[in-house]
Amino acid sequence: MARPTMKEVAGLAGVGMKTVSRVVNGEGRVSRETRARVEAAIAATGYRRNEVARSMRGMRSGQSTVDIGLLLGDLTNPFFAGVASAVIAEARGRGYAAVLASADEDPLAERAAIDGLLGRQVAGLLIVPGGRDYGYLRPEIEIGTPVVFVDRPGGGLSADEVVLDNAEGARMAVRHLAAQGHRRIGAIVAPSRWATSERLRGFRQAMRAEVGTIDATLIRRLSTGSVAEAERSARELLAVPDPPTAIFTTTGFMTQGLLRALGPRRDVAVVGFDDFPLADMLPVPLSVVAGDPVVLGTAAAQTLFARIDGWGDPPTRRVIPPTLVPRGSGEIPPPTGARTTRRPGRP
């Protein structure tokens, strides 16, 4: 299936190609009626303006253009910076360049960003999805533009995925805390997305296996996921009767909020999911479950280039295992007198 052309748009709208060019590029005068016909033809054919060709006007001979597109999540998250660096390095090693875009987890802005990348006639797309339905990309796959979802699956579309084993990472954290003697283990959970939902699922599984019960009052699920909200939630959690002796956090922002709430306290064990800069330099170095963004980004880019090179197998999901990094905060024992045994009769 070939990519729709301007000639097809012109034929469907019953106008000349110069008229289509004026509408597409916003140049010259076009009547309202003619513009409406051209825009309807663009929508019907799925035509996208070739941003590469447009940008070539005035470019020096031999200047290269962008070859693959990478749409990231929240750029303030150091994890995604690591993913981007790995993708850029892998692309450069293959003689490709990469263009980056971000929608800050906004599905509407994300759709516009993806349209912009596709308008550059990229050879493939790497997407850290923030939306729920990517069925609109099916025509792109059908004409040969490969899509790889990174860190999370993309709903509504069968495509390659490269993700962390989030549930196992949470199980590792709980098993580690339980091995120190903790039974009152709380959790501060970022807003529900696939990754954090998997982490909560793993937390619950491990609590049943290691402790034998789950106290729902010790699980705090946030609505926005900001550091400030995490701090407020952590203060509330620490103030409940019979508070937790250990806390698991599902993202780096959740961990930072918890650390602010703890202040100088050294009596609560902490294991956070996701590492962040200087976590090992804290007064009590932070124990974390870490997914390597370089491994994730490299694996995603390699999958994309395999598709570009003609790999024709059905879509796959590649799962990257995380690592538990014990540094000190996750090894704090429960206070003297805290319950450290399993409930009788429970597994």
- Higher per-residue confidence, 51 vs 106: 106
| pLDDT at position 225 over 90 | no
Say which range, 116-120, 204-208, 262-266, has the weakest mean pLDDT. Answer: 116-120
Q: What is the pLDDT of residue 338?
A: 66
pLDDT of residue 2: 61
pLDDT of residue 346: 39
| Mean per-residue pLDDT of the chain | 88
Is residue 66 predicted with pLDDT exceeding 80?
Answer: no
Instruction: Work out the pLDDT band at 3, boundaries 50, 70, 90.
Output: low
pLDDT of residue 57: 40
More confident residue, 4 or 165: 165
Span of 6-15, 138-147, 221-230 with lowest mean pLDDT:
6-15
pLDDT interval class at 174 (50, 70, 90): very high
Say whether pLDDT at 248 is over 70.
Answer: yes
User: What number is the average pLDDT over the span 120-128?
Assistant: 92
Q: Is residue 221 over pLDDT 50? A: yes
pTM score of the predicted model: 0.78
How do strand 185-189 and strand 246-249 relate by DSSP bridges?
Answer: parallel
Mean pLDDT for 61-74 is 69
What's the confidence (pLDDT) of residue 345?
37
pLDDT of residue 52: 46
